[in-house]
Amino acid sequence: MTDPRTPDDDAPPTAGQGTQANPSADAAEPAAQAAREAAEYKDRWLRALAEMENLRRRTEREVADARTYGVTQFARDVVTVADHMERALQALDDEIRATADARVKGLLDGVEITERELMKALEKHGVHKLEPRGQKFDPHRHQAMFEVPDESVPSGTVVQVVQAGYTIGDRVLRPALVGVAKGGPKAAASSSDEAEATAPANDNSQKS
């Protein structure tokens, strides 16, 4: 009898034979790749949005500062003119004004009107005059020139103003030159002063 098997029947299976392809695994790989790319693009998009928002806020802040403080140097020059006008008016006491003729009185009235209009123009552009007399000395806004013995007011109170100070926006354009009282009762500490005084103690207690 002849063997019905052919030589091909005894040959070992070739690669790929005996195993079946997994269509679901092949389809999952492109989907996972697409998901990773989508997540990466989303992260880049969110970062770009955050950078644009920060740029917008920074630009708005710079524009606002330019509008408020762009005239700082000009304002410093103008307040010097206001100082000269104020000194000129203070040099004329009530007696001189009372005995002055009509032309001199008219001149004085014109100078006073000019000074008021100058101050209005400064305030229109955010420049305000400091009125520290009677206030507690503030080293951020005032510059002490001398001390005045005065027991009728709390120590550290501004009792004389040598030269007016000015602010522009939230900044000090020029500190006021003042005389400060000494010898009186100690001035009551404000809430902000108390917070500054207790801050180091709190820090030390936390460290210990």
Q: What is the DSSP string of 98-110?
A: HH--HHHHHHHHH
Q: Rounded to whole angstroms, what are the CA distances from 14 to 5, 9, 23, 125?
A: 18, 12, 21, 91
163 in any annotated domain: yes
In this prediction, residue 143 has a pLDDT band, given cuts at 50, 70 and 90, of: very high
Task: Please tell me the distance from the alpha carbon of residue 177 to that of residue 159, in angstroms, as a whole number.
Answer: 11
- Total domains present in the chain: 1
165 in any annotated domain: yes
Beta pairing class for 166-168 and 171-174: antiparallel
152 in any annotated domain: yes
- 71: CB partners within 8 A, 6+ apart: 125, 127, 168
99 in any annotated domain: no
140 in any annotated domain: yes
The tokens of 140 are what? 């951020």
143 in any annotated domain: yes
Q: Kindly report the average pLDDT of the chain as a whole number.
A: 81
Range of the domain at 149: 130-186
The CATH number of residue 154's host domain is: 2.30.22.10
62 in any annotated domain: no
Which segments of 62-164 are extended strands (E)? 127-129, 142-149, 158-163
118 in any annotated domain: no
pTM above 0.85, yes or no: no
pLDDT in tens, 9-59: 555 555 445 455 555 656 668 888 888 888 899 899 999 999 999 999 999
pLDDT in tens, 148-206: 998 888 999 999 999 999 999 889 999 999 999 987 777 666 555 555 544 444 444 34
What is the pLDDT, as a whole number, of residue 104? 85
- Above pLDDT 70, what percent of the chain? 76
Residue type, 106: G
